[in-house]
Chain A
Amino acid sequence: MKPLWFKAATATNPGLLVRLGAIGAVMLSVTGAFAYTGGWLSPERLTQDRMMAAFRDANGTHVGFRRNHAKGVCVTGWFESSGQAAAISKAAVFKTGHVPVVGRFALAGGTPFQPDAPNTVRSIALRFLPPGGEEWRTGMNNIPVFPVNSARGFYEQLLAFSPDPATGKPDPAKIKAFLAAHPETARALALIKKRQITSGFADSSFNGLNAFRFVDAAGASLPVRWSVVPVQPVAADAAEQPEAGDENYLFDDLIAQIAQHPRQWRLIVTIGQAGDSTDDATQPWPEGRQQIGAGTVTIDQASSEDSGRCTAINYDPLVLPAGIEPSDDPLLSARSAAYARSFTLRAEEKHEKPPSAVTPEQVQVGGKS
């Protein structure tokens, strides 16, 4: 019910109607701008939700698991910094000394129960916890370059390699079209295919792939990429198939090896030069770049994801201490956003999550299932 004065006023004063209309228009524009910013009016925009939907299309729904690198185990250990990287980065983690580490070994792909296979991309995620609380988190893969160089490329790759509902297999025509549209991926996949595949996690090298910047105490910054390289001897992948039924052989071996004695990797920082691309993870840097041995990572304990300390953690590549900064690589921001949403989804689903492929019992018996 409008008050009387109001009716009288609108009847006698058309200006009032204009002003009411103006208020309505302002309200609508503010709401519209809000909806636009939130992506609700742009079905084409690649959002966190749409990235998650692509993972669902590619892998199905696996409640409570990471949307990518879904099959894994937690590990702990420490990092013994050599102090050598302290000259180019002011991060506390690089001062000579001992830093606790919580990590995770995993296989790429969003299927938590995939059988271990030699060709599947392996990963290590590390969380360095130096005194003072300035953490460093990083994820690395056992491939020399990343297959895509943009969030859109990643999304299209997921969709292109999704199983066709009719056949249950990826559609070769779709893959062909994707590779034709992404020559950088075709080039990167060729390099990835040529990589040396080792016998397991413990003798794999892992590469950070994205470029970052190290910043020293004076504020000078250098482009870098980093890797961890095994200290233990490297053995080529045994060409024969793993025993039938041993679906977790890579993880079982790792758990058994760590139980035997700690495994170690050297953290190598490669310094880029002018002209080395920092914004394209499909491009390798030339051989012969200056490298620094920043220290050694030692892993002395493994545990199942279901009891370990890596599960309630998001290995967000942008959790960086002062002294390490993101480069201009668009993948970094994309990863941070996608990992955040994946992390939130699995947190929401935690109470419904079935046991992981590698259970606490299995780790207890030394990885022999």
Chain B
Amino acid sequence: MTAQPRFPAASRLLHWLMAPMIIAMLFIGVGMAASVSRHYDLLVSIHRPLGIAILGLCVARIVNRFINPPPDLPDTVPSLQRFAAKASHIALYALILVMPLVGWGMLSAARYPIVLYGPVQLPPILPHDLTLYAWLRDLHSVLAYLLFATFLAHFGAALYHGLIRRDGVFGSMASWKSMQFARTNRALIQNSTQTPEP
């Protein structure tokens, strides 16, 4: 009966800052790509800067992961699930790093100005090339659907840990308060004499 340690505070902060941003990006993306309404322009103008913010935060998150390594999963998690967890985390990191780069790259290849806000623009990172644009635009969609699927699996797994297994994995990311919620079973929590961290 060991307590499942939590992710370091910086990791939790980054995770929960970025989670809503990424989910919003997926919804904004498919919403605008299926719209010719007034919302199209507004959504695109949010999509660009928000995506670039995710790129910046993702780099910060990767650096943070080296400084603040994540806790190990509890021993009770079977090895196949361990592997799935690890692989899906790598996939999530890779996708949120590559998605904004593909977005920036495709707008560069199409020679759209990459406006973040008002006069603030990013320079193009690729040569002006229609075929390259077409390829990246399709890639942007494919990776977005892949990201959505991976996120869904991740969300499902998190809920499974939180509601079914109750092995502290959910709390290791989702609890702000204390180690209390991160015990391997409820009885332990109820009997715990530990005082919560501030």
Contact = CB atoms under 8 A, between A and B. Distances in A.
A314 B34 CA distance: 19
A236 interface: no
A47 B131 CA distance: 24
B148 interface: yes
A31 B152 contact: yes
B110 A47 contact: no
B41 to A, nearest CB: 4
B164 A351 contact: no
Given A23-B156, A45-B34, A313-B111, A337 B40 contact: yes
A337 B35 contact: yes
B113 A336 contact: no
A27 B153 CA distance: 9
A51 B34 CA distance: 10
B36 A27 contact: no
B112 A319 contact: yes
A319 B113 CA distance: 7
B118 A322 contact: yes
Contacts of A39: 30, 34-35
Interface string B49-62: 00000000000000
Interface residues of A toward B: which range? Answer: 35 or more
Nearest to A40: B34
B131 A16 contact: no
Classify chain B: how many residues form its interface, as a range: 35 or more
A123 B33 CA distance: 27
Interface string A31-43: 1011001111000
Interface stretch (B4-12, B84-92, B133-141): B133-141
Majority secondary structure, B binding face: helix
A346 B33 CA distance: 17
B3 interface: no
Interface stretch (A70-78, A175-183, A326-334): A326-334
Residue with the highest number of chain A CB atoms closer than 10 Å, among B78, B119, B138, B160: B119
Interface string A5-41: 0000000000010011011001100110110011110
B36 A30 contact: no
Interface in A297-327: 311-314, 316, 318-319, 321-322, 326
B131 A351 contact: yes
A201 interface: no
A192 B41 CA distance: 28
B164 A347 contact: no
B82 interface: no
Interface string B100-144: 000000000011110000110101000011110110011000000
Contacts of A231: none
Contact of B159 (A23, A321, A337): A23
Contacts of A16: 164
B26 interface: yes
A134 B39 contact: no
A314 B35 CA distance: 18
B170 to A, nearest CB: 12
Nearest to A135: B113
Nearest to A321: B119
A344 B137 contact: yes
Given A23-B159, A47-B36, A151-B36, 9 more contacts: A133-B123, A134-B119, A313-B111, A316-B112, A333-B42, A337-B36, A337-B40, A344-B134, A350-B130
Q: Which 5 pairs from chain A and chain B are nearest by CB?
A: A39-B34, A38-B30, A347-B134, A333-B41, A337-B40
Interface of A: 3, 16, 19-20, 22-23, 26-27, 30-31, 33-34, 37-40, 45-49, 51, 133-135, 151, 311-314, 316, 318-319, 321-322, 326, 330, 332-334, 336-338, 343-344, 346-348, 350-351
